[in-house]
Amino acid sequence: MPSIKCKCGKRLDIGTIPNPNEWLAISDVDYDGYSEQVDAEALYEKFTHFLECDNCGRLWFFWNGFNGPAECYEKSKHI
């Protein structure tokens, strides 16, 4: 099963369906293009996929799909 290794060392699966570490995001502009009931598969095509490491909380965004490189974001708190 494909996976990526987080900076903390935890291996995150990519192919699990449904994936408990995977989130789906869509831009507000793209979402605004839908005004009626949507075809779930058509909407799914618009999503950006990201994984949340359940060990350290880092987020791994696949901006160009799973075939492209993942970009890591580390959580920080604003005080």
The partner residues of 42 in beta bridges, in order of sequence, read none
Of the candidates 56, 37, 55, 38, the one whose C-alpha atom is nearest the C-alpha of residue 47 is: 38
Burial of 12 (0-12, 13-18, 19+ CB in 10 A): buried
Cα–Cα distance measured from residue 68 to residue 53, given in angstroms and rounded to the nearest whole number = 19
Q: Does 25 bind Zn ion (CB under 5 A)?
A: no
- Residue (33 or 75) nearer to Zn ion, CB: 75
- Residue (5 or 78) nearer to Zn ion, CB: 5
Binding pattern to Zn ion, positions 31-60, x when CB under 5 A? ----------------------x-xx-x--
Shortest Cβ 79–Zn ion spacing (Å): 23
Q: Does 6 bind Zn ion (CB under 5 A)?
A: yes
Report the interface residues with Zn ion, using CB under 5 A.
6, 8, 10, 53, 55-56, 58
